[in-house]
Amino acid sequence: MRDAGIIRAADGKDGEYISYISEHISNVKSVFTGLARTNELDDFEVEFIGKIIDKHDESKYQVDEFNGYRQFFFPVDGEEKDKSHFLVAWNLHQKRNPHHWQFWIMWKPEGGHALDMPFEYVIEMLCDWSAMSIKFNNIVSEWYNENKGKMLLHKDTSACIEKYLPLFDKVLEKIKAGVDES
């Protein structure tokens, strides 16, 4: 049986990966805060989705995810990357976190069928993608347009993504410019 414990503190490469996770979660929360300030979501949505955002990517601290990610992206000197270990961790992460479109795929013998993602998880996914856009200094809508052909999305999920992407681009512009509307 695998250790499903939680990583709480570490140094070296484990510490570097913990810092990476913390930075990502902070960026997700910054994007959501920027989105909330646009007044495009009602108060209930902001409160409800905010509670979801507060728990964003917590599963990355579970040993069975943490070790596969850390070993692949932050290997110790001389440590060989184990892609199969990473892929198991990535699969676990997708299956534990409904903000990933892969969570919403119903697999059948004839192939995958996309289920419609609930609105709150589409918004969390867009916050997640936007946080990665901060990290890699790109534009989330351009990233989506380059990668959507690799995704299996329900038509309503695609429509929701495409409706809100311009808003996320604007939120990111303000974050990158250091604009604080508080």
Q: What are phi and psi of 181, to 5 degrees?
A: -95, 15
Does residue 51 belong to any structural domain of this protein?
Answer: yes
Task: List C-alpha distances in Å: 122 to 53, 67, 129.
Answer: 12, 27, 10
In a domain, 124, yes or no: yes
Range of the domain at 143: 12-177
Over the stretch 80-129, which tens digit does the pLDDT of each residue have? Answer: 999 999 999 999 999 999 999 999 999 999 999 999 999 999 999 999 99
Quick one: which of 122, 104, 124 has its CA closest to 114?
104
> Based on the structure, what is the number of domains in the chain?
1
Q: Which of 32, 25, 34 has the alpha carbon at shortest distance from 49?
A: 32
For β-strands 111-114 and 105-108, DSSP reports them as antiparallel
Instruction: Indicate whether 113 belongs to any domain.
Output: yes
* Domain-located, residue 1: no
Amino acid at 108: K
Q: How confident is the model at residue 12 (pLDDT cuts 50, 70, 90)?
A: confident
6 assigned to some structural domain: no
* Whole-structure pTM value: 0.91
Structural domain includes residue 153: yes
In terms of Cα–Cα distance, which of 40, 45, 157 is closest to 98?
A: 157
